[in-house]
Amino acid sequence: MILLNIRMLQAKRELNDSGAGLLVILGIISFLIYASYTVFLKTPDAYYLTAFLFLICAFLQSYRNDKAFVITHIRKPHIEIYSEYLLLTFPFAISSLFTEQWFCFPVLLVILSVVPYISYTLVQKTYFSGISAILPATDFEWISGFRKSFLFLIPFYVLAIGFSWFRILPLLLLWFLTVSVASFYSECEPLHILKEGGFFAKEFLLRKLLRPTLYLLLLYTPVLLINTILNPEFWLLNLLFIPIQLSLLYYSVCLKYSTYEPNKKQLSNSIILSLVSLGSVIPYLLPIPLLLAVYTFGKAEKNLKEYLND
């Protein structure tokens, strides 16, 4: 099982890098396993979950670009690929065996056997090729992130504007947008791009924080303004909403640079960030993103000094 061994090594490396985030990752996985169990208790939810797990694997298979390599160079390639998807779905699917919908597990095993034979690879298209006319190329996180997530960023924003006279709904939609935008900062640029402006660490970080502030204000102000005019009793909530969202965004920027290593994708940061995002909607946890942003700013500056302060 060559592929499984490789995946194990990759997972081990990622977990080693995640530090204290390891507990968070384990916590999330445990929660998902428990959540799957509760879903398998009922029909038709159990069928939907089985179909969902199958679709996830089919989607991954159609996106992976190592298919030709695996098929050419590895013995019994379809079994190797099949075993990967089995391992991926196993923790979630196994819980069905402890419910009345136990048959979902063998059904999934059977239908997953089709997935390795999907040879079609989705071609990456260049959507919004003219976006750099609106966003400067130096905001490559936003350009890249928008291309990755525009399919739900645009509808969410349109809905937020469309429902801006509602009481809480637009805020929730904008919060989803902030969480998505925060995830833009999970990939480290190469060193020559980091060094391009010739800034010192602190100046670099402040500039990195300024841009999202501007974008967020531009995007959120119209929605919040309409909402405040039509629901004047919510003026304070709307007023506080922007700094709360900004603090989450600041935290994501500072978190990225506090663990910056050239060319690295920071998967463990994304998990920590998604948990902190919850803090920006639970009232008594509201100060957490701000406190973390302040704390990680110092860490980010210290880390960036290693690369920037020549």
Partner 1 sequence: MIKIQNLSFSFLNHKVLNNISIDFPKNHVYGIVGLNGAGKTTFFNVLSTYLKTKTGVITFNGSKITYKDIAYLETVNYFYSRITGKEYLKIFAQTNPDFNLNSLQEYFKLPLDDLIETYSTGMKKKLALLGVLKQNKQIFLLDEPFNGLDLETNKIVELIIETLREKGKTVFVSSHIIDPLLTVCHQIHHLENGEFIKTYEKDNFHSIEDELFKTLRSEAKTIISRSI
Return residues touching partner 1 (CB under 8 A). Answer: 123-124, 126, 129, 131-132, 136-138, 140-141, 143-145, 147-148, 187, 189-193, 195-196, 198, 262-263, 306, 310
Phi, psi of 186 (to 5 degrees): -120, 15
Dihedral through CA 280, CA 281, CA 283, CA 289, nearest 10?
-10
Residue closer to partner 1 by CB (options 14, 189) is 189
- Residues 6 or more apart from 290 whose CB is under 8 A from it? 243, 244, 247, 250, 251
Q: What is the DSSP letter of 118?
A: -
Q: Nearest distance from residue 45's CB to partner 1, in Å?
A: 34
Q: Nearest distance from residue 187's CB to partner 1, in Å?
A: 6
Residue closer to partner 1 by CB (options 80, 187) is 187
Residue closer to partner 1 by CB (options 146, 241) is 146
Peptide bond into 212 cis (omega under 30): no
Residue closer to partner 1 by CB (options 123, 282) is 123
Q: Nearest distance from residue 185's CB to partner 1, in Å?
A: 12
Residue closer to partner 1 by CB (options 27, 262) is 262
CA 54 to each of CA 83, 147, 259: distance values in angstroms, whole numbers, following the listed order: 14, 26, 35
For tokens 């603090």, what's the residue? Answer: 247
Q: Nearest distance from residue 188's CB to partner 1, in Å?
A: 9
Q: Nearest distance from residue 150's CB to partner 1, in Å?
A: 10
Quick check: 182 and 252 in contact, CB under 8 A?
Answer: yes
